[in-house]
Amino acid sequence: MHPSRLPLPLVVALLLTARGASAVEWEGALKGTARLLVDTNAPRDFADATQHTPGADVALSVLGSAEGRATFERTQLVGRYELGARKYAGFADEDTLVQAGALEGSLALGTEFGVGVEGHAKDRRGGSRDYSDLGASLFAEYAPDARLALRVRAGARRFVYRPDATANFGGPELGFLGRYRFDRRHSLSLFGDLGTRRFGTPARARPGAVGSVLGRREDGALTAGLSYNYRGPVALGLTYSYQESSSNSFGETLLRHRVVGSAGVRLPWRMTLLAQGSLGFTRYPDGIFLSPEIILVEEDEGQDSLSLKLARPVSARVDLELSWGLWSTRLPRNGLSYTRQVFGVGVTWRD
């Protein structure tokens, strides 16, 4: 069964139900990373063509994660938790603490079908991008063989953005994921999500409209995409996604195309090079754009990016790493641009 997420009370209930199973397999892993970073735009400021954006700073970043899986005769439980923190030397307002958790419980119905429930939560504190993102859903899976796997889900999502309550939303969601493995090296995935986002604020009327009664803001959110992966001497991945957010509030509609590519290759002296790049095109039909803070909250999805990481093991459990990342975007309607580079050196430990 494909791992995903589940609320804690259901995990406990499923564990109690499965206690009588004849056999159980346990898997788990721990990982910790510490990095010293140089950030060229710690406050993540936008600037116009006449401005130089100050804000370079050094920071210490730590990230820990734990994941586990329990497989019973017909039931599987999967969980993951991550805790990360970043401390800046000069921009204390940008210090962040991030927690993320995901749990899933699934039940096999024969050899091909399965059902389950999943849940996830992410909470970020610090800077101007404090938010919480919560979701839960029921799902059904079909996997007739090792090549094909299909999953459909239905659930709900709640997003809370603390600096600006007008960005809070909640609503139902539907999702689909299909994967086909041509052989042990080539695979293709198709995914899509459809949801309704209901906000607590009135919709903004179009300028010049008189007597319009729009009610509360409501957005329709659509995401669809295709992903290809190759696993061989070089690991390659290529993903195209289309995102559409159609709003009854003027200025909040967007259309976005995005391509993400990744590669991993082993080098001499036991080194590994990982690279990832993304290009995006975003259009705002109403001629204005969403808040820059919201763009950044959405995990930099609205930006072009390139990142490189070079890693070398120094023992069976410890790796040394060098990393570099570049993020940039431009808002052509007002001439604002955003650029940020992060250089890092660190160490990763895994159990």
- pLDDT per residue over 31-57, tens digit each? 999 999 999 988 888 776 566 656 899
Query: Left if phi > 0, otherwise alpha if psi is -120 to 50, otherwise beta: which for 314?
Result: alpha
CA 328, CA 337: separation in Å to the nearest integer? 7
Residue 291: the pLDDT is 52
- Mean pLDDT (whole number) for 76-91: 96
Q: Is the pLDDT of residue 128 over 60?
A: yes
- pLDDT per residue over 134-144, tens digit each? 999 999 999 99
Question: Is residue 248 assigned to a domain?
Answer: yes
Q: Using the structure block, give the residue that is written with the tokens 């590669």.
A: 263
249 with 230: CB under 8 angstroms?
no
**pLDDT higher for 289 or 15?**
289
- Mean pLDDT (whole number) for 259-263: 97
3-state secondary structure of 273: strand
Question: Is residue 312 assigned to a domain?
Answer: yes
- pLDDT per residue over 195-221, tens digit each? 999 999 999 888 877 666 678 999 999
* Least confident window among 36-45, 145-154, 310-319: 36-45
59 with 40: CB under 8 angstroms?
no
Q: Is the pLDDT of residue 301 over 80?
A: no
CA 207, CA 219: separation in Å to the nearest integer? 19
Query: Is the Cα torsion angle 290, 54, 87, 37 positive or negative in sign?
Result: positive
| Cβ-defined contacts of 264-270 (< 8 Å, 24+) | 264/234, 264/235, 265/233, 265/234, 265/235, 266/233, 269/312, 270/312, 270/313
Task: Compute the mean pLDDT over every residue in the chain, rounded to the nearest whole number.
Answer: 87
What is the number of other CB atoms lying within 10 angstroms of the CB of residue 320?
Answer: 14
CA 150, CA 143: separation in Å to the nearest integer? 6
Encoding tokens for residue 241? 């996604």
- pLDDT per residue over 233-246, tens digit each? 999 999 999 999 99
- Mean pLDDT (whole number) for 81-106: 95
- Mean pLDDT (whole number) for 110-126: 94
Q: How do beta strands 96-109 and 318-331 pair?
A: unpaired
Q: Is the pLDDT of residue 290 over 70?
A: no
Give me the percent of the chain exceeding a pLDDT of 70. Answer: 85
Question: Is residue 2 assigned to a domain?
Answer: no
Q: Is the pLDDT of residue 19 over 80?
A: no
Residue 2: the pLDDT is 39
- Mean pLDDT (whole number) for 261-289: 90
Question: Is residue 319 assigned to a domain?
Answer: yes
Question: Is residue 1 assigned to a domain?
Answer: no
- pLDDT per residue over 159-195, tens digit each? 998 888 888 999 999 999 999 999 999 999 999 999 9
Question: Is residue 48 assigned to a domain?
Answer: yes
Give me the percent of the chain exceeding a pLDDT of 90. Answer: 66
Question: Residue 20 belongs to a domain with what CATH number?
Answer: 2.40.160
Strands annotated E in the chain: 25-39, 57-71, 75-88, 96-109, 113-125, 131-142, 148-161, 169-181, 186-202, 216-231, 234-247, 254-267, 271-283, 304-313, 318-331, 336-350
Query: Is the Cα torsion angle 297, 301, 306, 311 positive or negative in sign?
Result: positive
Task: Report the domain count for the chain.
Answer: 1
pTM equals 0.85
Q: Which domain holds residue 304?
A: 8-350
How far does CA 194 lie from the centroid of its chain?
A: 17
Q: Using the structure block, give the residue that is written with the tokens 């090549």.
A: 147
3-state secondary structure of 47: strand
Which residues sit opposite 273 in a β-bridge?
265, 310
